Structure 1
Amino acid sequence: MEKPREVLVIGGNRYIGKRLISRLLAAGDRVTVLNRGSSAPPPGADHLVADRDDERALAAALGPRTFDVVVDQVCYTPRQAEIARRVFAGRTGRYVMTSTVEVYEYEDSIAPVREDAVGPLTVPVDLELPWEDPEFLDAHYGEGKRQAEAVFAAAPDFPYTAVRMAHVLGGADDFTGRLDHYATRVRAAEPIAVPFADQPATYIHVEEAADFLAWTAGAAFTGPVNAASHGSLTTVDLCEAVAARLPEGKVVLQLVEVGEVSPFSFFRSYGMDNSRATRLGFTFGTARQWLPTAVAETLGKGD
């Protein structure tokens, strides 16, 4: 009988993370969840408590443990990546970092971007920036992820991959409130602020995101990989899908040239090319096909 894999999941006890853990346990993996103790792991998973920003405490919590795979759901800064790289060097055969489409925030391309548009080894790392400041980190989310990827990539003997996740939709437990933003305005026929030239973006359903992370944990490739369903969506597509569930409402668009716009409204394209993952063997769904289901789940009107 094949020995179960030892998998560590750092953070991510909700939304995508809890679905990932469920898949790993169902596959027969021995799963350990590490967080700061704010929430218990799902039944069947072991639990370690530590602040991942405290290198000494993190190493102490791990003790002599080693893992076949580490899935890091909450690495946001190069400082966190530096600590993780030092602590997990020699402890794991594979390190999967959940990254983001936001690493491409400066790549204003009409065509979907490939992974080589942002090569981690070309990204300068600045550990002296105020990464511990929540406001700074929130304003530099994509930059934090870019530099975290760069830290892992700089160690040639550290077997990492960075999953650049598209914008995630779906699930009754979607805590972001972004689709609720549209639902509130559609119900009340209130204006929805969008750019004059509203640009498309790529998306992924929360269940597909968990499938992709679980698949990546069991793969052998390294480096960055884009995770996005086929096809792109605009704000109008999202509004129409919400309105289809709220026939008593009305979509009222307010076109703006500059300034704040609604969630998932973009002045530039956020399309990702998913061909690398497809070649490696993952089968993506199509965003337009699952969008009505995602809206129904999020608005609490699932079929």
Structure 2
Amino acid sequence: MNTILVIGGSRYFGKSLVTKARDAGHEVTLLNRGSGAPPSGVGHLVADRDDEEALRAALGARTFDTVIDQVCYTPRQAAIARRVFAGRTGRYVMTSTMEVYDPATLPAPTAGRRPVPVTEDSLDPLRAQAARGSGPAFEYADGKRRAEAVFLRDPVFPYVSVRAAHVLGGGRADFTGRLAHYVERIAAGAPIDVHEAPYETSFIHHTEIAELLYWAAGQSFTGPVNAASHGSLDVMGLSGLVAERVGRRPRHRVVGDGAEASPFSFDRAYAMDNGRASALGFDFGRVTDWLPEAITEAMAEAAAVRTA
């Protein structure tokens, strides 16, 4: 039995992660700001992770075999965690994101050729040049990238960053509403806004990312791993699968350069290679195997909202 601390983890795939670790017989503790109670059999600590003194007070003298950090979004949060958990844990797993592969930080693809899915070696957060941008999406990506750099610089414990693809599935639990966007618009005959030549992107099921985080907590490797189901899709393929379940043909409307498109329509490279995690022993599923059921869940949720 191991002692595991999960920071965050009170909603979506974080809840699945906590219960999976508990059911496997580990001593699990959840730390959050009191926003959600843990499931039965799981310990609970309340603290604001941005308040270093309060975090230390909540932890007391506790130590953990593994810390799984679900909600590290900024380099400041990473720096606090690095100081607080130095000497308290034998392993630190941070939930990161595919968004760290900002095109501005990557080499341009060969002229006339579509780029291949990015590997972990495509980005070294310690050497990444400062990206320029604005808005919530940029701030999220840049914050995650710089948080990874904090943990990697002069590491004080074995560290893993799990760069998660777009997480789907779970019906009501999926608070992002991105898959529901396609279900609702296609069912209503409304157009889906897409780029003229959209690129493929990567996805992962919400239970699969929970399983991968749990798996990563028990391994000995360090560094980044890409977390994506086998097989990538562009927005046309995604809307086509939704249309098959909904029973109505999709309508696509091409947007101009620089205009906002629907979720998962990208005018730049946005797919990841999952080869490292696979080689280390994690068995990924295929997007096309689990996506139909995820679409059905979104359809059921949309129907429940209409009849409420």
TM over 0.5: yes
Aligned length: 291
2:101 alignment counterpart: 104
Contact preservation (8 Å) 2:195, 2:267 = yes
Residue 114 of structure 1 and its aligned partner are, at CA, apart by 0.7
Q: Give the letter aligned to residue 93 of structure 1.
A: G
TM-score (norm 1): 0.92
Residue 136 of structure 1 and its aligned partner are, at CA, apart by 5.4
Corresponding residue SS for 1:120: coil
Q: Give the letter aligned to residue 118 of structure 1.
A: L
Q: Residue by residue, what CA displacement relative to the aligned partner does 1:55-86 show, whole Å, maximum 9, x if unpaired?
A: 00001100000000000000000000000000
| Alignment partners' CA distance in 2, 1:41 and 1:125 | 38
Q: Mapping of 1:179-190 within 5 angstroms?
A: 179-190=179-190
Q: Residue by residue, what CA displacement relative to the aligned partner does 1:118-149 show, whole Å, maximum 9, x if unpaired?
A: 112213689xxxxxxxx955541111100000
| Alignment partners' CA distance in 2, 1:251 and 1:297 | 19
| Alignment partners' CA distance in 1, 2:195 and 2:136 | 25
Calculate the aligned-residue CA RMSD, in Å.
1.9
| Alignment partners' CA distance in 2, 1:293 and 1:13 | 24
1:117 alignment counterpart: 122
1:168 alignment counterpart: 167
1:211 alignment counterpart: 211
Q: Mapping of 1:39-78 within 5 angstroms?
A: 39-78=36-75
| Alignment partners' CA distance in 2, 1:40 and 1:156 | 32
Structure 1 ranges of 4+ moved more than 3 A? 123-126, 135-139
Residue 228 of structure 1 and its aligned partner are, at CA, apart by 0.6
Residue 293 of structure 1 and its aligned partner are, at CA, apart by 1.4
Q: Which runs of 5+ in 2 are unaligned?
A: 110-114, 302-308
Change (3 A) 1:138 1:54: farther
Bigger CA drift: 144-153 or 234-243? 234-243
Q: Give the letter aligned to residue 158 of structure 1.
A: F
Change (3 A) 1:185 1:137: closer
2:252 alignment counterpart: 253
Change (3 A) 1:37 1:125: farther
Corresponding residue SS for 2:126: helix
Aligned pair partner of 1:92 in 89, 104, 107: 89
Bigger CA drift: 70-79 or 289-298? 289-298
Q: Give the letter aligned to residue 159 of structure 2.
A: Y
Contact preservation (8 Å) 2:6, 2:67 = yes
1:263 alignment counterpart: 263
Q: Residue by residue, what CA displacement relative to the aligned partner does 1:101-129 show, whole Å, maximum 9, x if unpaired?
A: 00012236510111011112213689xxx
Corresponding residue SS for 1:225: strand
Residue 156 of structure 1 and its aligned partner are, at CA, apart by 2.9
Contact preservation (8 Å) 2:212, 2:227 = yes
Q: Mapping of 1:135-174 within 5 angstroms?
A: 138-172=137-171, 173-174=173-174
TM-score (norm 2): 0.90
| Alignment partners' CA distance in 2, 1:79 and 1:113 | 27
2:29 alignment counterpart: 32
Q: Give the letter aligned to residue 212 of structure 1.
A: L
Contact preservation (8 Å) 2:183, 2:298 = no
Q: Which runs of 5+ in 1 are unaligned?
A: 127-134
Contact preservation (8 Å) 2:82, 2:156 = no
Q: Give the letter aligned to residue 157 of structure 1.
A: V
1:132 alignment counterpart: none
Identity across the alignment (%)? 57
